[in-house]
Amino acid sequence: MLACSPCAPKYLCCQGETMGSLLMLWLFAALPGLLWASHSTLIVEGDNDASRICKPAPQWDIKGYAPMRDLLGNVAVVALLYPALYLVFHLFICRIGGLRDRLNRSNMTEVSFIIVNERDAHSRAMYWELKRSAPTGVPVFQQQPLQNDVWEALDGDKDDFLVYDRCGLLTFHIVMPYSFLHHPFVEAAIRATYQKNICNCTVSDQWKNVCEMNEVQCYSSQN
């Protein structure tokens, strides 16, 4: 039996987590095809350009550092979080840790999570609390007020999750309310991306994208 995450206050612990996990296992068997078939209404709802699916993430950086470069080769999950009410976002972040633990127990260890905070004054003031609450190994990036808006570049909004395959190609863009982690959609999208090769990612594609992101000339073994 799965216990509630220890990082959440007891009175916020989810009831029926074991039942939810069993439901998750059932949904994963049926959901990947459903998610992909309905991506225009569910997974990229709010995304004005459905052609973003199976395309690389747009270039973005925080203080000159581009996190997506270091995530190539792993399934990458980008969470756009807005720290409004403390208890709410604390529980939300705690669920990210629980999700990662479930994936690790399923031998899905090559999944990387990152959090990108909003750039308004309230979000910046809450940055250190957000960073403190984040699970170990999940970095939190804070946008600066005058930089290009990362959320806008990703065509994202509050509490969106964007899932990228090992080649850095977008497989799912999950929006509210489907992105709330007590629903199964984010986990199912990650599992589908990890196991299904939705965008036909190959080793040569991974190498090519590494070169393009680092803006260096690459040569194939045939040259």
CATH number, domain of 197, equals 3.40.30.10
Whether the predicted pLDDT of 217 surpasses 80:
no
Q: Is residue 181 part of a domain?
A: yes
* Token representation of residue 76: 């990458």
Asked whether residue 151 is domain-assigned, the answer is yes
Domain assignment of residue 89, yes or no: yes
**Does some domain include residue 221?**
no
* Out of 36-40, 168-172, 189-193, 213-217, least confident range: 36-40
| Selection from 184, 176, 195 nearest residue 27 by Cα | 184
Residue 10 resides in a domain: no
Q: What's the mean pLDDT when you consider all of the chain?
A: 77
Name the pTM for this structure.
0.75
The burial class, CB within 10 Å (0-12 / 13-18 / 19+), for 123 is middle
Domain for residue 220, yes or no? no
Residue 89: give the domain boundaries: 16-213
* Number of domains forming the structure of the chain: 1
Buried b (16+ CB within 10 A) or exposed e, 58-77: eebebeeeebbbebbbbbbb
Long-range contacts of 100-104 (CB under 8 A, 24+ apart): 100/135, 100/138, 102/21, 102/187, 103/187, 103/190, 103/191, 103/194
More confident of the two residues 213 and 33: 213
**8 inside domain:** no
Classify residue 166 as exposed, middle or buried by CB count within 10 Å of its CB (0-12, 13-18, 19+). buried
Distance CA 52, CA 98 (A): 29
Q: Tell me what the mean pLDDT of segment 209-214 comes to.
A: 58
Indicate whether 5 belongs to any domain.
Answer: no
Tens digit of pLDDT for each residue in 140-174? 999 988 889 999 999 999 999 999 999 999 999 99
Burial of 116 (0-12, 13-18, 19+ CB in 10 A): buried
